[in-house]
């Protein structure tokens, strides 16, 4: 069963989401997140898809 929920900027779920995005989307292309880029997400609505409390995918 999947559940969607809002991810708060700076939370443990947020850090896990950034780690997932970095490993899956950025590193294969030789890219990384800058602190400046991540600070810009403070006002974004971030949504995560979870199964049994484990994040499966996020939509920034």
Whether the CB-CB separation of 26 and 17 falls below 8 Å is answered with no
Collapsing DSSP to helix, strand or coil, 48 comes out as: strand
Distance CA 36, CA 3 (A): 30
Q: Mind listing the pLDDT tens digit for each residue in 6-60?
A: 999 999 999 999 999 999 999 999 999 999 999 999 999 999 988 765 555 555 5
Print the domain residue range for 19: 3-59
Query: pLDDT class for 3, splitting at 50, 70, 90?
Result: confident
Count up the domains in the chain and report the number: 1
The alpha carbon torsion through 33, 46, 19, 40 (nearest 10 deg) reads 20
């Amino acid at each position: 069963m999947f559940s969607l929920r809002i991810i708060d900027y700076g939370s443990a779920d947020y850090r896990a989401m950034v780690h997932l995005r970095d490993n899956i989307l950025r590193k294969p292309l030789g890219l990384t997140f800058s602190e400046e880029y991540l600070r810009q997400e403070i006002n974004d609505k971030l949504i995560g898809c979870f199964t049994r409390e484990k994040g499966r995918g996020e939509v920034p």
